[in-house]
A = this chain, B = another copy of it.
Amino acid sequence: MAAPQIIEADVTWTGHRFEPSIQVVTSNGLVERLGALGLVPTKKLSGKALLPGMVNVHSHAFQRGLRGSGDLFSDGSGNFWSWREAMYKLASELDAEKFAHLCRQAFSEMLTAGITTVGEFHYLHHSGSEENYAMDAAIVRAAQDVGIRLVLLSAFYNTGGVNKPLSENQQQFKTDSVEAYWDQWDELCSHLDENTQTLGVAAHSVRAASLADISQLHRDACRRKLPFHMHVEEQRKEVEEFRADFGRTPMSMLTQELDVSANFTAVHCTHTSAEDMEQFLAAGGNVCICPLTEANLGDGIPATPDIVAAGGRVCIGTDSNSRISFSEELRWLEYVQRLHQEKRGVLVGETGNVARNLFEMATVNGARSLNVQSGEISPGFNADFVTLDLTAPELRGADPDTLLEAFIFGCGNSVIADRCVAGRWL
């Protein structure tokens, strides 16, 4: 457990702005109190700004292994489905050791990018023909090795398409039943570090689980007060096929059949209709958008401005980890909409401030989705921080009133100077 600290940076993000002369007192891995307390700091961060660490809601760490090769197109071009074949091939080549290696790579890069919490949406449970869950324990250890906070969203996966059996190359993802899911889930609890690791629940998608199983898992998650995550409507084709077969969209089925509330995070929603989205948001659901991955995969342009205008909670994921940079994710979430609408300042939200709204997505909203007490520097919250190097060339000229804008719109990962998880500086 990290020793008590009194931290003082040149400026500290207090939720609405950067303030000077703030001391942050931490103990037992938590923020105890903060303010202009007149205390002598035990950790002085000169030339730096202190911010809450960012929260990455949706990652498949092993897909880091496709960086580079995933953008070679032997047939000239490709689409989501041809990319999925390459991803299945990678998965088939991984044993627990190779898998853990890729997880450590991805998690390290996330810390470099200022991400201190990752929601790992984990469905690659088996190695080759092995029935054991060696990959599950490997991912928990990888996060411990690297020091990042982990919310392991263990994913239920047992159909190969709507009402279809698993294909050969999907056997590695297999969960036998909801009962088997919970047995493995409870077993995993014993592997966790209590200060930095928790578990959540995921159903992969309507492609990979029946409505009955999704409903059961969701009820169980609510009863246990756990976050529930699911891929929803990433590809136009899956929405159209589902509607043709069942007369309603995946999202309308979910909102009609499940008791959606604030613990539900729908990932992507690239092709969700306005009407379905309205229902989902009214029920309290969160939407996780993954700008870099959705762009890399050619998913399409989501109706993010409508979600924000309706007061919906958008959070952010690095998903396929083809490039890991949260400032880049945030600016392009906004930029894609600027290009689409031909105006500037689209995702303004309630604050009237784009950068602040984007940063809340990367912190407060992400923490809400994953049910972790992170994402803000407040008493009782995790002592999860990052610092910006105020002497970095990219930030030259910024003052406290423009620092957040300069970071989000002007910088890469290199301005992130320090990371702290549960009071431990990494």
The residues of A with any CB-CB pair to B shorter than 8 Å are: 64-65, 67-73, 76-80, 82-83, 105, 108-109, 112, 236, 292, 294-301, 322-325, 328, 331-332, 335-336, 338-346, 348, 352-355, 393-394, 396-398, 401-403, 405-406, 408-414
Q: Are A79 and B344 in contact (CB under 8 A)?
A: yes
Residues in chain B near residue A70, CB distance under 8 A: 405, 409
Known: A80-B344, A296-B344. 7 other contacts (CB 8 A): A65-B397, A71-B409, A73-B353, A83-B344, A296-B338, A298-B339, A298-B342
Q: Are A77 and B403 in contact (CB under 8 A)?
A: no
Residues in chain B near residue A109, CB distance under 8 A: 393-394
Residues in chain B near residue A343, CB distance under 8 A: 77-79, 298
Smallest Cβ distance from A360 to chain B, in angstroms? Answer: 16
Q: Are A412 and B409 in contact (CB under 8 A)?
A: no
> Can you list 26 contacts pairing A with B, beta carbon distance less than 8 Å?
A64-B397, A67-B406, A67-B410, A68-B398, A68-B409, A71-B409, A72-B402, A73-B345, A73-B348, A77-B343, A77-B348, A79-B343, A79-B344, A105-B393, A108-B393, A236-B342, A295-B336, A295-B338, A298-B338, A298-B341, A322-B409, A323-B411, A328-B328, A332-B332, A336-B339, A412-B414
Smallest Cβ distance from A323 to chain B, in angstroms? Answer: 5
- Complex CA–CA separation, A51 to B405 (angstroms): 33
* A325 to chain B: closest residue by CB: B412
* A302 to chain B: closest residue by CB: B339
Residues in chain B near residue A332, CB distance under 8 A: 295, 332, 335
Number of copies: 2
Q: Are B77 and A342 in contact (CB under 8 A)?
A: no
Q: Are A410 and B300 in contact (CB under 8 A)?
A: no
9 nearest CB pairs, A to B: A68-B406, A77-B345, A68-B402, A295-B335, A412-B412, A298-B338, A73-B345, A68-B405, A78-B344
* A81 to chain B: closest residue by CB: B344
Smallest Cβ distance from A382 to chain B, in angstroms? Answer: 25
Residues in chain B near residue A340, CB distance under 8 A: 301
Residues in chain B near residue A82, CB distance under 8 A: 344
Q: Which of B80, B292, B325, B339 contacts A295 (CB 8 A)?
A: B339
- Complex CA–CA separation, A343 to B346 (angstroms): 25
Q: Which of B76, B298, B409 contacts A352 (CB 8 A)?
A: B76
Smallest Cβ distance from A312 to chain B, in angstroms? Answer: 18
- Complex CA–CA separation, A298 to B346 (angstroms): 10
Residues in chain B near residue A76, CB distance under 8 A: 345, 348, 352
Q: Are A414 and B414 in contact (CB under 8 A)?
A: yes
- Complex CA–CA separation, A324 to B411 (angstroms): 8
| Interface-centre pick from A294, A345, A402, A413 (highest chain B CB count, 10 A) | A345
Residues in chain B near residue A69, CB distance under 8 A: 402, 405
Smallest Cβ distance from A320 to chain B, in angstroms? Answer: 11
- Complex CA–CA separation, A79 to B299 (angstroms): 27
Residues in chain B near residue A301, CB distance under 8 A: 339-340
Q: Are A397 and B67 in contact (CB under 8 A)?
A: yes
Residues in chain B near residue A323, CB distance under 8 A: 331, 409-412
